[in-house]
Structure 1
Amino acid sequence: MSKKLTKVILWTPPRCLSSVFYRSMTTLKRAKCFQELFTGSYYFGPERRSDRYVRERNGCISDVGLDLEGLTVSELTYDRIKKTLVSDYPNVDLVFTKELVYCLPESLYPDMISEGFTEFTHTFLIRDPERAIPSNYRVTMNEQFDSGYLVPTSGGFEETYNLFNFIKEKKGLAPIVVDAADLQTHSDETMKKYCEAVGIDFDPRMTSWDPGPCPSHYKIFSQWNSTVDQSTGFIKVKPEELPPVPFHELPHEVMGAIENSKICYQEMKKYCIDITK
């Protein structure tokens, strides 16, 4: 008898260790893993909602380095991405995708719990905004964009909280939530609990792997994953060992985003996987 196919979505704001989480999931055998498919629609497709990369490349978006199921940039519609995610993939036991919530239009929230998406388990990854948002700002400024300090301006936490509440209300059950801090302090325990919650088998390689390029659908984002490419697992560090965030150097817009995101983070943290049980 063939094993039942498991389908999982990991929703997250930017800079919440989601790329290394995705790297962890790619270590699993018989798994089909996707990374930020809706991001392609948001930035590059014909229905794009941001010209961030279009401006950077003087209107040219054909050279994003797309490698996704044979699709072209002109085919990165939201409808095509949905069909890609719900398609049948033979010879796999797991379909996993990690997605940035702000790249999903709110009008598509109902689609995420209907039709082919009813088979997906929705999970969320969050991180203290005092860590995630300054990191987002730093990387964005390194790209030298003139489109603002943060995309989105909320740091992505408000959108994540809204989708979390939508799914919780419609399904009558809170989705699974992981705090990135637990991945840094207790990676094995956290990933074991996550696997148990979504119905897959934990493999020790999920927290210890060989360095190498992390599979990516968009080469244009490669600089965002440079640390992940060199990683051999989740970086284990205690909160007190983390370097202090230079808040005094951050623009008031960034500090405002941090402050506005705290309640979203704190509310979702109430539903985090308990690694002590």
Structure 2
Amino acid sequence: MLATTPANVGPRWGPESESASTPAPRATAILPSAGSAYDSSIFTHAWVKKTLEAEHKNASLVLLKDFALSLAGKEYMDHLPHGYHHTFLIRNPNKVIPSWRKCHEEWRPSKPLLDEEAKEEWHKANMGEHGGFKDLLELFQYVRENLDPAPFVMDADDLVSQPETVMAAYCKVTGIPFSRKLIEWENDGSPMYEKWITCRDHLGYLNCNYHTNARSSSGFRKNEDLPKPASTSVTNPKAIEQIAKCVPYYEKLYRERFVP
């Protein structure tokens, strides 16, 4: 089963990298689990497809999450594995873009110092012009036309406001037995690198601000229940411009979503 979301760089990771924004191996060698994580030199689209389509003995479920930008372009979409349910998680770009830009500040190179124009180029290189939403819509259309006539789409706001209803529907479509452990879980404090398999270049992301709330979570929580930043208003003209470019693609996907 594949769950696809609208963000991240790429097809720019590993040996198929097309972007200078790929994180250098720098700190990954000293991160926990660096020795067992996949090496990015083998992490090609073809290798992922072959690995996922192989037999997984004693596994009741194989779950993979990736971003639509990682499969941008039909030549990469053709590497989608067969035999999986392809599902989509969407989120309002008015929430995605400001949050994403903030997270990128954590990974922006400290040297050389970047002026405002260079900072915007950094954001664009990592987020793409349409923040991944155009790629997400194109991927959804590809899946519907080639793999699944009715791929499941869920909206993040629906998921956090009605988690039991949405996850029950998700489980019904994918054939996963529903359990309340899917919406409420015990947080044992173990680090994310012990729970998820990833490649070395991504190990650092498991400990960054992208996942702050996820690391401490014990269930789905509405946005209003979470700590709010000092300012939640979007005032950056470039961010406002990018949001406007994303909205039409999001709205098309929103019309395809499961309605609780």
TM-score by length of 1: 0.75
Corresponding position of 1:267: 252
Corresponding position of 1:46: 15
Larger proportion of strand? 1
Q: Secondary structure at the match of 1:10?
A: strand
TM-score by length of 2: 0.79
1:89 aligned to which of 46, 56, 70 = 56
Q: 1:168·1:175 contact (CA, 8 Å) conserved in 2?
A: yes
1:231 aligned to which of 217, 235, 249 = 217
Structure 1 stretches of 5 or more lacking a match? 1-7, 16-37
What is the RMSD of the two structures over their aligned residues, measured on CA atoms?
A: 2.9
Question: Residue 67 and residue 87 in structure 1: after superposition, are their counterparts in 2 closer, same or farther (change >3 A)?
Answer: farther
Code of the aligned partner of 2:17: R
Corresponding position of 1:173: 149
Corresponding position of 1:184: 160
Q: Does 1:194 align with 2:194?
A: no
Deviation at 1:198, TM superposition (A): 1.1
Deviation at 1:141, TM superposition (A): 1.7
Corresponding position of 1:247: 234
Q: Where do 1:9-20 residues align within 5 Å?
A: 9-14=2-7
Code of the aligned partner of 2:29: D
CA–CA separation in structure 1 for the residues paired with 2:215 and 2:162: 21
Structure 2 stretches of 5 or more lacking a match? 110-118
Q: 1:64·1:219 contact (CA, 8 Å) conserved in 2?
A: no
Q: Secondary structure at the match of 2:86?
A: strand
Deviation at 1:60, TM superposition (A): 4.8
Code of the aligned partner of 2:62: V
Deviation at 1:90, TM superposition (A): 1.0
Corresponding position of 2:122: 148
CA–CA separation in structure 1 for the residues paired with 2:37 and 2:218: 30
Question: Residue 242 and residue 191 in structure 1: after superposition, are their counterparts in 2 closer, same or farther (change >3 A)?
Answer: farther
Code of the aligned partner of 1:42: R
Corresponding position of 1:123: 87
CA–CA separation in structure 1 for the residues paired with 2:106 and 2:157: 25
CA–CA separation in structure 2 for the residues paired with 1:67 and 1:97: 20
Deviation at 1:168, TM superposition (A): 1.7
Question: Residue 108 and residue 144 in structure 1: after superposition, are their counterparts in 2 closer, same or farther (change >3 A)?
Answer: closer
Identity between Structure 1 and Structure 2 (%): 24
Code of the aligned partner of 2:243: I
Code of the aligned partner of 1:111: H
Corresponding position of 2:203: 219
Deviation at 1:72, TM superposition (A): 2.1
CA–CA separation in structure 2 for the residues paired with 1:142 and 1:124: 27
Once the two structures are overlaid, the 10-residue window that deviates more, 219-228 or 144-153, is 144-153
Corresponding position of 1:134: 98
Once the two structures are overlaid, the 10-residue window that deviates more, 88-97 or 170-179, is 170-179
> How many residues were matched structurally?
234
Q: 1:186·1:236 contact (CA, 8 Å) conserved in 2?
A: no
Q: 1:167·1:175 contact (CA, 8 Å) conserved in 2?
A: yes
